[in-house]
Structure 1
Amino acid sequence: MADTLTVQLGDRSYPIHFGTDLAGTIRQTLAELAAAGRKVVVLTDTRVQAAQSEWITAVTAGLPIFAVEPGEGAKSLAGLGAVLDFLANQQVDRHGVLLVIGGGVVGDLGGFAAASWLRGIDFLQVPTTLLAMVDSSVGGKTGINIAAGKNLVGAFHQPRAVFISTRLLATLPAREFAAGMAEVIKYGLLGDRALFEQLERAPVTVNSPELADVVRRCCAAKARIVEADERETAATGGRALLNLGHTFGHAIENAAGYGTYLHGEAVAIGLNGAARLSQKLGYMTAADAERVEAVVRAHALPVRLQRPLPYSALLPAMKRDKKVRSGGLRFVVLKEIGDSVTAENVPAHLVEACFREVGAA
């Protein structure tokens, strides 16, 4: 029996189903769609298709499947075009449904394709990575990367349901699991001090008995934030708080070249940068900033750049970020662990100092 949490968004509300293995729940949903005369097609990537071939075959039962190559390279204009061509070739109409099985890249790409095809069709999310389970599969942010920056092209398009089967994490590479833990740490920092302290006492692994509860806890936190500020329009706080560590992280991904760092790895460095910035702005204590770095390290994540990146490349990337307002740098900072705020017009010299402390040249 699946545990269900509803994201309350009026006529766009949808359930997040949690369980060890939701194959039966997904099959039932697909059978109901078929009975209603709605065509379902599937998007995944070749790595997930190989790792979960039996599970995908059992769940999708002969539905048309399109698999993109794994990695950030698929989350591009070319990748979007390929998915749209697949939908066209399958003659998916406005009542059609796209079932997206994969991590954050496939989820963002598939969601944006669903938002774009015929001006919007329904899609279902089956996240297969920890990062997608706790963050990107929930909330309706979809999009692709372009040379100018990450996620600059996209749409708000909520899924019709999310199915979180924790058994799918069994085949996830250790590096990918660690990348997902960066988002879990983020949730602890931005609004759940007890979660952060739990991570501090004992790092969460794929075999931790508390993993399922941690995943649900993060989804519940994101659902509450999305319900209050779906399109990130709040003047302060709101959904923007979910970007803790991301202004640093997105700049790192852009300057290093997409794929050099996993998204969660760049965010992990960004969390360390955000803690340092919070300290420099007079919020967080030095001791708490050290605690943030220690928890990030304990979860096998980087706290510094692998190789120096020129600040001259990082600054323009930050200025192109979606979170910039009226040309001013805007960051999420920590008043303390578990309490975050948005900070407008942060002095550039403080940002530069933080970047240099995490390895920028």
Structure 2
Amino acid sequence: MNLKKQAPRFLVALLLLFSIAACQSSKQLTTIVLLPDTQTYAQKFPHILQSQVDWILENKADIDIVLQQGDLTQNNNREEWAVVKEAFDKLNGVVPYALAVGNHDMGSEPGKFADIRHTEMFNAFFPYHQMSKLPAFGGVFEDGKMDNAYYLIEKAGFKWLIINLEFGPRDMVLDWANRVVRNYPDRTVIVNTHSYMYSDSTRQNKGDHWRPQAYGIGKDTGASSVNDGEQIWRKLIKENGNIRFVFSGHVLNSGVGNLVSINDDGWPVYQHLANYQAGVKGSVKGGNGFLRILKINHRTNTMSVKTYSPYTKTYKTDEGQDFIIKAMSLKQ
């Protein structure tokens, strides 16, 4: 055999084999990017938000959905909403994304945070008629409003349902979320909301800072009564076996919290707080562009969590920022 003549064919076959293996590997992953509390970027550092979105676009082939955890703006004014819209409009029709509403994104006027449940500015810049046409959109709680919405994606043979809940979701919203989850029993569910986990790795509860009940909307009663993390757990998360993840921001201190709890059906629920905004310990420029990259491997039943800044091109490697969850129970 003439090895010199055979070598090119061998290399081509080897490269093809590696290419097929890499393709199969990517199909076994669901990749989710979390963009918590962008408020300081909207107010002071729009170029940092742009760097995050540009990085997402550069890696669009490997990202299945982008979830933002609320407090898109600092002061709920037109100038800051224009910054946010310019950034996220780049993702339209390219990468599916879902935006949550935080306490800084609602109020009777700019600078009044969640004194009333007034989200007209959010819905003016991200209107239903536009957002409902984007990839993965499923439906909403209130006609014509994006405050509470759900999304549907499929990857690696997995069917996902993502539910976005408003800040301090009302009882009526949790009732709606329960109905949506039960309508999709074959889907693994992610709940994405602004306020849920606290920085001591417990769910927000009485006595914790920044509970929704501490704001003006906390005075609402009846079906409009607001709920903190522990109440969301009891009224929605724990009683639905297919809800397996909860992502939130909002809380300062370390800005990090991780918790695994067992729901009523005996399945683990992975709950994560990530927040890098101004006010979080060690924060620079409102977070320096740090975001979360979650890679769920359906073959090995693991999830890797990386915290990366496209702006500084660095990773956070301290506790709670870089870890792997092993032996996840994700079988549908």
TM-score if structure 2 supplies the norm length? Answer: 0.26
Give the strand-richer structure, 1 or 2: 2
TM-score if structure 1 supplies the norm length? Answer: 0.25
Computing the radius of gyration from Cα coordinates, the structure with the larger value is: 2
Give the helix-richer structure, 1 or 2: 1
